[in-house]
Every structure is written in C-alpha cells, then in structure tokens.
Amino acid sequence: MKTPEGQILRRYERMDTRLFDDPGAACKEVADAIEQLILERAAEGRSAVLGLATGSTPVRLYKELIRRHKEEGLSFQNVVSFNLDEYYGLSGEHPESYRCFMEDQLFTHVDIPRENTYVPDGMVDRDAVLASCKAYEQAIVDAGGIDIQLLGIGRTGHIGFNEPGSGPGSRTRLVTLDSLTRSDAARDFLGEENVPRHAITMGVGTILEAKKICLLAWGDSKAAVIAASVEGEPTEAVPASFLQSHEECIFCVDTAAGSHLTRQRYPWLVGPIEWTPEVARKAVVWLSQKLGKPLLKLVDEDYSENGMADLLTEKGSAYKLNIKQFNIAQHTITGWPGGKPEADDSNRPERAIPSVKRSLILSPEPKDDVCSLGGTMHRLANQGHDVTVAYLTSGNLAVPDTDARRAIELIMELAREREDAGEISFAQKVEQQLDEKGAFGEDSSEIRHLKGLIRRGEARSSARLLELEPSQLRFLDLPFYEKGRYRRFQSAQADVDLMVQLLEETQPHQIFAMGLGHDPLSVPAICFQILSTALTALKDDSWMKDCRVWLYRGPGREWDVHEIDMAVPLSPDEFEFKIRGIYQHQSQRSQTPSPGAKNMRNSWTEVSELNRATAAFYDSLGLAEYEAIEGFKRWSPGLGS
Ligand code: F6R
C-alpha cells in the first residue's frame, strides 16, 4: 500500500483486501496462517483458539486443514473452537444444524478434542437464551479470546447472523433472520417454509474482539456486498463494513467476488492501466451510462474529465473511439444465434457454416435453460438447428413434498383403478416414507426418484412450448447431485465420464453453458467444472476444432453489457413464449429459483426485468430498441475458432 497505486487504492478500499484467481490459493494461505498459529501455540504448550464459520465458503479451507492433518500430521489436539452461530430450534443431530455441519466438514476428520468445540446451543429454552449467550461469551474469554476468526459473508452483508441493523457493539444473542438469508437457505431446507426464523449468533462486537479476522468470499453473487463492505462507509445496513475498524482484518476473495471493487470494475480510476480492447470497451460503455449519453454523442471532454485522457490520446479522438465501440456493440446483436445461413458472417457472433448446427444446451437444473435462454432456444429450434438440451442434474432436491404427495396420490388412484397390486404397494410405500420423514427429513431414494420425474415432466412441457420435441431432451442425472445435499456436493470421475459421453455423442458445433463465476460449491459451478474437465479430455477430437462455447449467466443474472459477445433480441411474442415456458416448472413456484426471487411470481418478474433491462441498456447506448435481450459471452480456452 506504500506505492502510488497502493495509495490511490487505499482511497477506495478501506481495508486489506486480497484478490485470488482461485479460492484454492486463498484457502492455502489462510490454512498456512492457521497452521502456524497451532504450531506456535503447541510449542508454548498453549491452546490455539479458532473462531469458525459454516456455509459453503469455508468448506474448501476445512478440506485443506483435513489434508494437512492426514498427510502432514498437523494435530488439532491443542485447538479450541467457537462457532459463530446456530439455527434456533435445531438440535445438533439435525442435518442442517451448524453443529452437524462442523462434525461432517471438519471435526470428525481431525483430532480436535470434542469438548474443545463450542457451537451455540440452538435448543436452549427461550427464557434461558440470555444466560446461555452470556455463558458462550464467557467461555471465549476463559479460553483466552479468539486468535483467528474466520468469516463468510451473506448477501445481506451479514457476518455470523448479524443481519442489517446489527450495531458494532452487538453481542451474542438470539436474532431474527432476514428474508433474503432465509431464501438463500431455502434449498438446504427443501423449501423456505422449513428454514428456521431465528438463530443464535455471536455479535459484531464479539467478532471484533478477535485478535485476527479473515473474511472469505467466492463467486459473483457476493461481489456487490464485498464492494459495499470494503469501499462503503461503515453502516448498520452492511454489518460486515464494521470490520473496517479492526486493525488485523483481511478479506480474501476470488476475482468473481471482488469484481465490483473499483480496482476491478473501473481500473482506470485507480491508476495507470493497459488499455486492452476489453478494458476500453468496458470503460466507454461505463462513460456512456455515467453521463447518460449514447455512445456516438460522447465528446473529447467527456473522456478527459473522467479519468480516460490516456485512452483518448492513444486512440486519437472521441469520434474514433465512439464509432469503434458503437460497431462492437452493434455486431453483438443477432437474431440468428446459430448463425445466419448464406450471409456475410465477418461481423456476426456466429459463423454461417454449417447452416444447420448441432447446438447443445447444458442446463444444470431443469428451468435454468428456459429462464436464461428460452428465447434463444426457441429461435434455434425454429431456425432448423439440431438442438439437444441436456439437463445435467435431476433437480429433485428442489421439489417440495406437497408436489411429491400429489404425484403419488395420482399414481395410487390410477393403480387402484387398474387393480395393479405392484403399483399400489409402491405408492403406499412412498406415502408412508413421506409421512415418516417429516418436513426436515432426508428423502428416500424412491422419493428423490419421484421428485426427479416431476421435474422431467415440467422440463418436457416447457421445452414443448419452445418447439422442442421430448426426443431432443437428455436427462443426465449426474451422480454427484443424486448422492449429495446442497453445499456438500462433490463431483467425481463418473460425472465427467457422463459429460464426455454426451459430448462425444452430440459432437456439438455450439455449446450453451453456465456456471463460470458462481459460488464454487453451487450446482452450476460444479457442472461447469465437470464440463471444462470433459472438454480438456476431448481437446484433440476433430469436432472440437469447430465448436464454440457460449456462456449464459443463469436465472436471475445477466452479463454486464460490455461483457456480451452475442445479444439475442426477443420480440414481445417470443418473450411471452419464454415466460409461459418458465411457468411450466410448477414445482418451483414456492422455491427460490434464483438469488432474490422468492417465488414463481418474483422469478417471472425478475426474468422479464433482466431481459428488458439489457434491451433498455442497448437502447441507451444508441442502438436499436428491442423488447428484451438474452446475452451470451464467448468462452474459448484452447478451443477452435
Ligand atoms: C455461517 C455464517 C454466515 C455465512 C454466510 C455465507 O456460520 O455465519 O454468516 O458465513 O451466510 O454463507 P455461504 O458461505 O454459504 O455463502
């Protein structure tokens, strides 16, 4: 931070923030610090006191610690741990309790003495909560205070479960969870209605007493809140921003989670930069938005007064810059996502030949496809391309029991009419399993299978509306999902093998995929990783030389306009088709289909807002005005042209 760039950076960033290309590298660094602490303390015959977090974020770090224990003999005998929080009303046996999470993800794999592991008691009586919280704080003090506190961050800006409104002096207490936090947890609990409303959490003040603090964040869904915490004024609206007052607090984030920091988003404001074509495009689009002027109306002063004088000097004039960026944006727009046959394709995102393309659409869960690229799928089908939609996971974990019950009642009724004893006993068995497991229980393999079939049916009727035949759909049911639970998935070679087989069979000219930049433990990110491993394995296949990969961002998200390489405009009618396609996913009406959307109605609104917002953005740059636009970014590591 002593360099001139460091000083400029310091003007924006109010705390020590480290960006990593990959969460693995960040976890290694944090694991080093933890190991060093444990070893130093062991040499002194003292305990190392760790403050631990749950959720997806620290899982990789815990894996690294377990590895060091198993392979390198790192002992946790002298470790005392305090977890940040626990859902109120859940016992330690509940699979979603934080006690259970810690046992699964760390404690049972290392030699930490169980009596040294503290997690707030979620089952304490209401009138004993206060005393229990005080005792928790006292136990921290008695242990000598927390040496290293690990934190994740919620999209509300919460640390622990200190939701917006929590002050810097707050202590361990019972809190009410924010509705966004509950909707983020909906999938873990198989429905938002099952998510506890309250939790016990260490306070912001308790956290700030730790000697060192390390906050971790991965994936672009955290980008906005990371920027607000690091660059904004400390405020109760973003509790993580209070960490700015701590002398020894670092944020370790991957580039996706750090993508809204000024140094990443508007690097020309932070210091001298290399004006690559990508940065120039981003900067000019930003300038046009900032000043509310179409691209072709920007003048020299606009550039020089907004930190872009060097770009202006390099390129000669605003006029030249404007035209260039206008053309780039213009050339992203195409109504022919599979390429326009017999047309000059030198300025089109897709090539004209072959005129009939094999298009492979990869949808991590049923509905990701229609929500994100329903209009494009419709166009591809209509324009005669050979489209295959592959649903990578069954999505069965997101089906509420009420839908499974309705389906099983239907099966039972039919079976009785047909006097089919086998079917009747199957239906009775599943009904009984549903009764016995209760809202929080794990689904049996029969229930999961039934729920998967419900989603298949919805995917088929949605695709039919987009003019795709059921024979064009493939259901991969990747094993990592079938065996796992949200946040605890782990892919294996069997998943890659299925993807390789799909690619070899379809030999696509274009692949539409999502998951880049998502939280690494999320279903889309795992699917993307599987795809990229499979593509690497197949890199020498001849069809790969003629294959393009188009990334869509996923439900409830869209690329920024400067990132879009192909913009597919939708007419009002096409847009209507898409919305009707989304509505076929009936079992998802009360699920959380995308960040921020709490039900089907919101999902509908969100999709329409996003696609319309992209169209409005293009319009504001001075390009044509459309009803809606779906955006794609080209991804080509080591692939052909
Ligand atoms: C967990 C905790 C929470 C999480 C946060 C992020 O103990 O206190 O603050 O760190 O909700 O969750 P993930 O990591 O699942 O995105």
Q: Which two tokens stand for residue 450?
A: 């039934």
Alpha-carbon span 303 to 88, nearest angstrom: 54
Grouping H, G, I as helix, E, B as strand and the rest as coil, residue 103 is helix
Instruction: Tell whether ligand 1 has an atom less than 6 A from the beta carbon of residue 99.
Output: no
DSSP states of 422-482: HHHHHHHHHHHHHHHHTTTSPPPHHHHHHHHHHHHHHHHHHHHHTT--GGGEEE---HHHH
Instruction: Tell whether ligand 1 has an atom less than 6 A from the beta carbon of residue 54.
Output: yes
Q: How far is CA 55 from the centre of its chain?
A: 13
Nearest C-alpha to atom 1 of ligand 1 is from which residue? 54
pLDDT tier for residue 602 given thresholds of 50, 70 and 90:
low
Beta strand ranges found along 218-332 (DSSP E): 249-254
pLDDT in tens, 543-570: 999 999 999 999 888 999 999 999 999 9
Ligand 1 atom nearest the C-alpha of 55 is 15
Site to substitute for ligand 1 among 27, 50, 57, most atoms within 8 A of C-beta: 57
Instruction: Tell whether ligand 1 has an atom less than 6 A from the beta carbon of residue 152.
Output: yes
> How remote is the CA of residue 48 from the centroid of ligand 1, in Å?
23
> How remote is the CA of residue 58 from the centroid of ligand 1, in Å?
9
DSSP letter assigned to residue 178: P
* pLDDT for residue 595 is more than 50: no
Q: Which of 5-9, 100-104, 154-158, 606-610 has the lowest mean pLDDT?
A: 5-9
Q: Which two tokens stand for residue 10?
A: 């310091």
Give the residue-averaged pLDDT of 128-150: 98
Ligand 1 atom nearest the C-alpha of 222 is 16
Grouping H, G, I as helix, E, B as strand and the rest as coil, residue 267 is helix
What is the percent of the chain with per-residue pLDDT over 70, rounded to a whole number? 95
* pLDDT for residue 237 is more than 50: yes
Alpha-carbon span 33 to 186, nearest angstrom: 34
Ligand 1 atom nearest the C-alpha of 152 is 10
Q: Which of 9-13, 468-472, 600-604 has the lowest mean pLDDT?
A: 600-604
H helix count then E strand count, the chain: 23, 17
Q: Which of 177-191, 282-296, 582-596, 601-615 has the lowest mean pLDDT?
A: 582-596
Instruction: Tell whether ligand 1 has an atom less than 6 A from the beta carbon of residue 509.
Output: no
Q: Is 184 in contact with 257 (CB distance < 8 Å)?
A: no
Q: How many CA atoms lie within 13 A of 245 on its CB side?
A: 16
Instruction: Tell whether ligand 1 has an atom less than 6 A from the beta carbon of residue 94.
Output: no
Q: How many CA atoms lie within 13 A of 73 on its CB side?
A: 0
Nearest C-alpha to atom 3 of ligand 1 is from which residue? 160
Q: Is 147 in contact with 49 (CB distance < 8 Å)?
A: yes
Ligand 1 atom nearest the C-alpha of 521 is 15
Active site residues: 163
> How remote is the CA of residue 28 from the centroid of ligand 1, in Å?
19
Higher pLDDT, 588 or 89: 89
* pLDDT for residue 405 is more than 50: yes
pLDDT in tens, 378-388: 999 999 999 99
> How remote is the CA of residue 420 from the centroid of ligand 1, in Å?
49
Nearest C-alpha to atom 15 of ligand 1 is from which residue? 55
Q: Is 489 in contact with 528 (CB distance < 8 Å)?
A: no
Residue identified by tokens 């509505």 is 583
Nearest C-alpha to atom 10 of ligand 1 is from which residue? 152
Instruction: Tell whether ligand 1 has an atom less than 6 A from the beta carbon of residue 53.
Output: yes
Grouping H, G, I as helix, E, B as strand and the rest as coil, residue 579 is helix
* pLDDT for residue 367 is more than 80: yes
Q: How many CA atoms lie within 13 A of 352 on its CB side?
A: 8
pLDDT tier for residue 439 given thresholds of 50, 70 and 90:
low
Of 580, 629, 76, residue with least CA distance to 370: 580
Ligand 1 atom nearest the C-alpha of 219 is 16
pLDDT in tens, 281-308: 999 999 999 999 999 999 999 999 998 9
CA distances from 322 to 93, 226, 281, 623 (A): 62, 32, 10, 12
Instruction: Tell whether ligand 1 has an atom less than 6 A from the beta carbon of residue 160.
Output: yes
Instruction: Tell whether ligand 1 has an atom less than 6 A from the beta carbon of residue 154.
Output: yes
604: alpha, beta or left? (left if phi > 0; alpha if psi -120 to 50): alpha
Q: Which two tokens stand for residue 462?
A: 């949605």
Site to substitute for ligand 1 among 87, 117, 158, 172, most atoms within 8 A of C-beta: 158
119: alpha, beta or left? (left if phi > 0; alpha if psi -120 to 50): beta
Dihedral of the CA atoms 236, 241, 246, 248 (nearest 10)? 150
> How remote is the CA of residue 217 from the centroid of ligand 1, in Å?
9
> How remote is the CA of residue 17 from the centroid of ligand 1, in Å?
19
Instruction: Tell whether ligand 1 has an atom less than 6 A from the beta carbon of residue 631.
Output: no
Site to substitute for ligand 1 among 50, 161, 225, most atoms within 8 A of C-beta: 161
Instruction: Tell whether ligand 1 has an atom less than 6 A from the beta carbon of residue 562.
Output: no
Site to substitute for ligand 1 among 56, 88, 98, 153, most atoms within 8 A of C-beta: 153
Ligand 1 atom nearest the C-alpha of 487 is 15
Give the residue-averaged pLDDT of 11-15: 92
* pLDDT for residue 575 is more than 70: yes
DSSP letter assigned to residue 263: H
The helix, strand and coil proportions of the chain, stated in percent and rounded to the nearest 5, come to 50, 15, 35
Average of per-residue pLDDT values in the chain: 93
> How remote is the CA of residue 53 from the centroid of ligand 1, in Å?
7
Alpha-carbon span 170 to 242, nearest angstrom: 11
* pLDDT for residue 592 is more than 60: no
Helix (H) or strand (E) holding 635: strand 628-635
Q: Which two tokens stand for residue 500?
A: 């390789």
DSSP states of 202-238: --HHHHHTSSEEEEEE-SGGGHHHHHHHHHSPPBTTB
* pLDDT for residue 596 is more than 80: no
Q: Is 259 in contact with 222 (CB distance < 8 Å)?
A: no
Alpha-carbon span 372 to 476, nearest angstrom: 20
* b/e code 75-102 from CB counts within 10 Å (16+ = b): ebebbbbbbbbbbbebebebebbbbbbb
Alpha-carbon span 397 to 395, nearest angstrom: 6
> How remote is the CA of residue 466 from the centroid of ligand 1, in Å?
38
> How remote is the CA of residue 85 from the centroid of ligand 1, in Å?
9
> How remote is the CA of residue 51 from the centroid of ligand 1, in Å?
13
β-bridge partners, 199: 87, 175
Give the predicted TM-score (pTM) of the model: 0.91
pLDDT in tens, 154-204: 999 999 999 999 999 999 999 999 888 888 888 788 777 789 999 999 999
